[in-house]
Amino acid sequence: MTGYGIASFDSGSTKYTIEIKSLNSKFLELSLRLPKTFAEKEFQLRNDCNKLIERGKVSLSINVEKANTTVNAAGIDTALLKHYYQQLKAVSLDLNEPSNNLLQLALGLPEVVKYDEETVSEEEWKAVENTFKQALTAFQKFRTDEGNVLEQDIKYRITIILKNLELIEIEEPKRVPVIRERLNQFLAEAVSREAIDQNRFEQELIYFIDKLDITEEKIRLRAHCNYFIETLKNDDANGKKLGFISQEIGREVNTIGSKANDANIQKLVVGMKEELEKIKEQLLNVL
């Protein structure tokens, strides 16, 4: 959800620069920095951003540069100026302070100098609005380009998880003989081999191995990974959905790890968890 777009429009007397930036966020957090002249357009800009930018901590700013920096005052309130001046003069006499620059000080007091309110014509606003759309287009292109890179990276990591799953399926059948030998050895050391009831031993072994069976987890994990890739191909915004699927992938991986009872499988599970964490980090950037 990181993005950047900028566009400018120069009317001759005024140059407008519109900049849109975004960082990662689960929701849309919109911050607007507008000149006072565009205050009435804030609702329209917010509405457009809400429709076109789905997620991210977004900052939109409009910068105005005047070709002529001279600001013309509409006039001076002479009555108010005299009132301020007389008060300042009286205070300076009362305090026995110098009365220099009292006029300049009075001119800086509130409401003495009244300025023309700047307005934007409808024609100029249309040009600024078009510039906003250009900046938004550049912003969306930035996001799309980043999204294509993220898609390839996430697919690659899902592929690694599936490859590790294939390796787990190779290692899984090797567990039973190892478990059988380990339990036999334990019982032989605890009691004599002659005292072991082989039928009962086989029954308990079957029960124990059944509890370690990961067939269902493997099926669900492969299904979740395939569903994840299918969802990734959709044109719709599926960032949150992908996040939910990754949580399901994590549950199956954790269960396989807890049932593994095998060092080689545990290593493969650790590799899966590492790739899944990287996927979750990347999903913060996916709409």
φ/ψ of residue 257, rounded to 5: -65, -40
- CA 10 to chain centroid, in Å, comes to 33
Asked whether the beta carbons of 187 and 180 are under 8 A apart, the reply is: no
- In 3-state terms, the chain is what percent helix, strand and coil (to 5)? 65, 15, 20
All structural domains of the chain: 3-69+122-141 (3.30.230), 74-115 (no CATH)
| Dist. CA 7–CA 14, nearest whole Å | 14
pLDDT at residue 250, as a whole number: 95
pLDDT at residue 1, as a whole number: 66
pLDDT at residue 94, as a whole number: 80
pLDDT at residue 190, as a whole number: 66
Out of 34-48, 95-109, 194-208, pick the least confident.
194-208
To the nearest whole number, what is the mean pLDDT of the chain?
Answer: 83
Asked whether the beta carbons of 20 and 6 are under 8 A apart, the reply is: yes
pLDDT tens-digit series, residues 261-270: 788 999 999 9
Out of 97-106, 125-134, 156-165, 205-214, pick the least confident.
205-214
Q: Is it the case that residue 135 has pLDDT exceeding 90? A: yes
Local structure of 71: helix, strand or coil: coil
- Full-model pTM: 0.63
Q: For 45-67, give the secondary structure using H, E and C.
A: HHHHHHHHCCCEEEEEEEEEEEC
Out of 80-89, 116-125, 239-248, 262-271, pick the least confident.
116-125
Q: Which residues contact 42 (CB under 8 A, 6 or more apart)?
A: 32, 34
